A and B are shown apart, each in its own frame.
Chain A
């Protein structure tokens, strides 16, 4: 209550100032009169009485002032006065205001933009119910220190045994060929278990999710579709429920539609089918690891407890299936870490970089303010002499700087919103949760917060400096003011700016060099002129192994006939495209006790022409050939990496390589090693590679292989010219064979560098901004210094210094600052970048102390600094000694 009354009374004083002040006057005057009357009664004259009251009671004018200053409203009022004064000052000097506000808008805008990305991607909770309890559960191979997806059979066992979870669900990626209604199209999809959406806590927009009866073999064919598919093919009609669509030649009934904003991970899926209805061979085979398990922890169960339980569960499974991979445990990761983990480091790095840009911008504005306050020394001296407190003057100056930064911040938010839309349009595909990035309330609060902090930061130092003026000297010195202290402060700010700029430039430069190195890296194959794509085989052909083999052979034959196609063949793996087929293997009779201990090799299942299409060099023996059919003995080709590691002293040809669950293959050749993983990523993944013929794959596998088989085509023609030809050739047989995922290898390689390219572009932009700001900073300081030294320069010239000496003196002063900053910055960058590279994989093929980068940065910075000093130096040269001396 009293708080409200306090506010109300304060507001009354603020807005009915006349009235309140009048009342106070009347009350105090009454007091004075009554006291005086008393005295007069005792025989004093009126004049004496008034004087006596003042002596006894203190000055009544002061009393009024004390009462006025006691409430909070007087503080507000003085702030308001300061603000109006600040606005007046800025309007008097629009040039200064514009430069300062634009500089701050750049710095704050860039920070706001990056923060809104960090906020939307990293900080904001996932859009599921109680997202902190969501985890992903992986198989964990302790021997190889790697985690993998699980098999569907594992998932069923886990779901039956685990007690730590409220719900456990699973999904597997799968492409679908949609042939009706509308034009045939290949769509990305997921197979999901019955309670997937309930586990996430997501409500469907229409219909329901799969029941447990539907999520099993022989269940009714049902499907859930994405909101966009519902919109495109059914016009958002509620009557879509219960209608059928044809997927891979099978009719399925729509029973649900997802909400429009549903996403799980980076890729959108349009089709969801029950995972329990997948092909039997995929359901039962424990060597097919393509299922991802997502689970919701029970309330009160920690990740550690759940992981311990899952380890026990997996041990039991291992004992029941001794021929499978024994020695596997389980590993839990929070869903959020899984979905955004990769970009978190990059985003925080960028936030740091953009913070540095803001610091540089602040230093610039602080410099401008120093000059301004130096010019106002007289004003402050007079106010101090008249009894203003130092605090009051500092407060007023800080009000001025905060006004600047808040105006800059407002403009910055507008710029951020505009820049963000442009940046997201370019980078959305490589950024998870990018749909969640927007300028919202917390971003606005952030912008306001940093505006105020920054305003205080760059305003406080000049303010403290100015309020400490020595009254004697500054009043005497008159208009010239005391400038030496200011110049030292300005010079240190320039040195700091230069140093920070060096750090940003070096970071951007190193990333640029990394990408350069990546392009130069030896890929192990000829990446030019290769197009890769996938084809859905006609459902009528995939019923049995023989049918698939024939269909593949005919497909490749037709593609080879296309004019301009030099060669073409099949492969289950395309280099640099994230695909994995990691197989446990052993050589000859050296079978390990448990499969989990066996080394891994990347298994390429290809046609006989693959090596020639890709341009992989043949080192020894031969590649797999036309003669290696199902009826011929099994043969394999290994790469130099596998040969070097497992046949260090012997010729591998004629030896046997055995794959778990499959059998032994006679090695007939050795080919060069191919860069399969993203460039720059090497060590944690399987390196050794081996090749077997797609035509020697067992029948039961052939029926599922088409969904993960690629066609690679070598042609000198453009992808866009060949693609329609390929479509024509493929569709010649039947129209239910969509072609999808058409890329050139060049594109795939380029995409594999996105984790370096995105930060490089952003860092490059920030470094450019920093350079611009720092050079205007050094320009401002040097030209101010020249204007202050006109007198001195005049004397020098009068005493015989020629123009070249003056020029050298001015440029030398600027370069000294730049070089000092450069030295500090190089040391800082070396330390910082070494620190950063120790826990991130951003650099490849370039040392953190790369001499070329650092030399280039140093030369660039020195040149820019020299250029910035050139203009004021020219002005100094034109000083006329006569005018300069008389000016005093």
Chain B
């Protein structure tokens, strides 16, 4: 299993995208690459799920988009974290931490 990129845990993609954007605004491909690098290649993102997630987050008001030039002077759509998105990221990170700790306790107990 370790050699093959795994699917994301359901519902965590949104949180990871927000986390990526917390550092700086980024375009779609950049977000994908950043996620793969940070996970050491564990996650490999399908373009379809990525773009659907962008649309969803945008409609929820957690991110917004603007067209800008890349470092290679190509036009790309950059996504920017909104204040609301930042708040959501904080609350979800806390909640995630709580859940992971709880699951770990359960797994260690047995």
User: Among the interface residues B29, B74, B76, B77, which one has the most CB atoms of the partner chain A within 10 A?
Assistant: B29
**Interchain CB contact under 8 A, B48 and A34:** no
Q: Out of A26, A38, A62, A67, which one reaches B75, CB within 8 Å?
A: A26
- Is B61 within 8 A of A58, CB to CB? no
Q: Is the beta-carbon distance between B48 and A63 smaller than 8 angstroms?
A: yes
A33–B51 contact, CB under 8 A?
Answer: no
Q: Report B91 CB to chain A, min CB distance, Å.
A: 15
Which residues of chain A are near B28, meaning CB under 8 Å? 27, 30-31
Contact of A63 among B29, B44, B47, B75 (CB under 8 A): B47
- Judged by a CB distance under 8 angstroms, whether B95 is at the interface is no
Q: Which single residue of chain B is at the shortest CB-CB distance from A37?
A: B72
Q: State in angstroms the CA–CA spacing of A829 and B28 once bound together.
A: 70
Q: Which of B45-89 contact A (CB under 8 A)?
A: 45-52, 55-56, 58-61, 70, 72, 74-77
Give A5 to B72 CA distance when docked, in angstroms: 33
Are A62 and B48 in contact (CB-based, < 8 A)? yes
B58 CB to closest chain A CB (Å) equals 7
A579 CB–B CB distance under 8 Å = no
Q: In the complex, which residues 428-454 of chain A have their Cβ closer than 8 Å to any Cβ of chain B? A: none
Fill in one digit per residue for A44-80: 1 if any B CB lies within 8 Å of its CB, else 0.
Answer: 0000000000001110101110110011000000000
Nearest B residue (CB) for A8: B59
A23-39 residues with Cβ-Cβ distance < 8 A to B are 23-24, 26-28, 30-31, 33-35, 37-38
What total count of A-B pairs have CB within 8 Å? 72
Interchain CA distance A71-B56 in the complex, whole Å: 8
User: Once bound together, how far apart are the Cα atoms of A66 and B47, in whole Å?
Assistant: 10
**Which listed residue (B49, B50, B61) contacts A2, Cβ 8 A?**
B61
Q: Does A71 lie within 8 Å of B59, measured CB to CB?
A: yes
| Shortest CB distance B26–A (Å) | 12
Closest chain B CB from A14 CB (angstroms):
14
With the chains together, A495 CA to B12 CA distance in Å?
Answer: 57
Within the complex, the shortest CB–CB distance from A70 to chain B, in Å, comes to 5
A81 within 8 A of B: no
Specify which of A1, A2, A5, A56 is in contact with B44 (CB 8 Å cutoff): A56
Measured between beta carbons, the chain B residues less than 8 angstroms from A837 are none
Known: A56-B44, A57-B47, A63-B51. A27 touches B76 (CB 8 A): yes
| A30-B74 CB under 8 A given contacts A2-B60, A71-B59 | yes
Q: Does B34 contact A (CB under 8 A)?
A: no
What distance in Å separates the Cβ of B21 from its nearest Cβ neighbour in chain A?
16
- Residues in chain A near residue B56, CB distance under 8 A: 70
Question: Is A516 positioned at the interface, with any CB of B under 8 Å from its CB?
Answer: no
User: Does A6 sit within 8 A of B, measured CB to CB?
Assistant: yes
Band of interface residues on B = 20 to 34
Inter-chain contact A70/B52, CB cutoff 8 Å: yes
Give every chain A residue within 8 A of B19 (Cβ-Cβ): none
- Evaluate whether A35 and B46 lie within 8 angstroms (CB atoms) in the complex, with A30-B77, A66-B51, A70-B52 already known: no
Instruction: List A residues 104-124 near B (Cβ within 8 Å).
Output: none
* B55 and A57 within 8 A (CB): no
Kindly state whether residue A9 has any CB partner on chain B within 8 Å. Answer: yes
Which A residues, 145 to 204, have Cβ-Cβ distances below 8 Å to chain B?
none
**How far apart sit A35 and B47, CA to CA, in the bound complex (Å)?**
11
A9 touches B52 (CB 8 A): no
Q: Which residues of A contact B61 (CB under 8 A)?
A: 1-2, 5
Chain A residues near B70 (CB, 8 Å)?
34
Measured in the bound complex, the distance between the Cα atoms of B74 and A577 in whole Å is 96
Contact B77 A2 (CB under 8 A): no
Q: For the complex, what is the distance from the CA of A57 to the CA of B33, rounded to whole Å?
A: 12
B26-46 interface bits toward A, Cβ cutoff 8 Å, 1 = contact, 0 = none: 011110110000000000111
Q: Is the CB of B59 within 8 A of A5?
A: yes
Q: Most chain-B CB neighbours within 10 Å: which of A24, A38, A56?
A: A56
User: From A34, which residue of chain B is reached at the shortest CB distance?
Assistant: B29
B30, closest chain A residue (CB)? A34
**Chain B residues whose C-beta falls within 8 Å of the C-beta of A2 in the assembled complex:** 59-61
**Which residues of the other chain, B, contact A38 by a CB distance below 8 angstroms?**
33
Distance between Cα atoms of A24 and B77 in the complex (Å): 10
Interface centre among B33, B45, B75, B77 (most CB of A within 10 A): B77
CA distance A855 to B96 in the complex (A): 77
- C-alpha spacing A28/B46, complex, angstroms: 12
Find out whether the CB atom of B47 lies under 8 angstroms from the CB atom of A31.
yes
Give A809 to B75 CA distance when docked, in angstroms. 77
Asked whether A67 lies within 8 Å of B51 as measured between CB atoms, the reply is yes
With both beta carbons as reference points, the residue of chain B lying nearest to A10 in the complex is identified as B59
Q: Are B76 and A70 in contact (CB under 8 A)?
A: no
Q: CA of A58 to CA of B47 in the docked complex: distance in angstroms?
A: 6
CB pair B51–A9 under 8 Å, yes or no, is no
- B29 and A31 form a contact (CB under 8 A): yes
Q: How far is the CA of A605 from the CA of B36 in the complex (A)?
A: 107
**A35:B29 contact, CB within 8 angstroms:** yes
Chain A residue numbers with a CB within 8 Å of B58 are 9
Tell me, in angstroms, the Cα distance from A517 to B38 when the chains sit together.
94
Interface of A toward B, CB cutoff 8 Å: 1-2, 5-6, 9, 23-24, 26-28, 30-31, 33-35, 37-38, 56-58, 60, 62-64, 66-67, 70-71
Query: What are the nearest 10 A-B pairs in CB distance?
Result: A63-B48, A34-B29, A63-B47, A66-B48, A57-B47, A6-B59, A67-B51, A58-B46, A70-B52, A27-B77
A-B contact pairs, 25 of them (CB 8 A): A1-B61, A2-B59, A2-B60, A2-B61, A9-B58, A26-B75, A30-B76, A31-B28, A31-B29, A34-B29, A34-B30, A35-B29, A38-B33, A56-B44, A57-B47, A58-B47, A58-B48, A62-B48, A64-B51, A66-B49, A66-B51, A66-B52, A67-B48, A67-B55, A70-B52
Q: A2-B59, A37-B72, A62-B48 are in contact. List 7 more A-B contacts (CB 8 A).
A: A24-B51, A26-B75, A26-B77, A30-B76, A30-B77, A60-B47, A63-B48
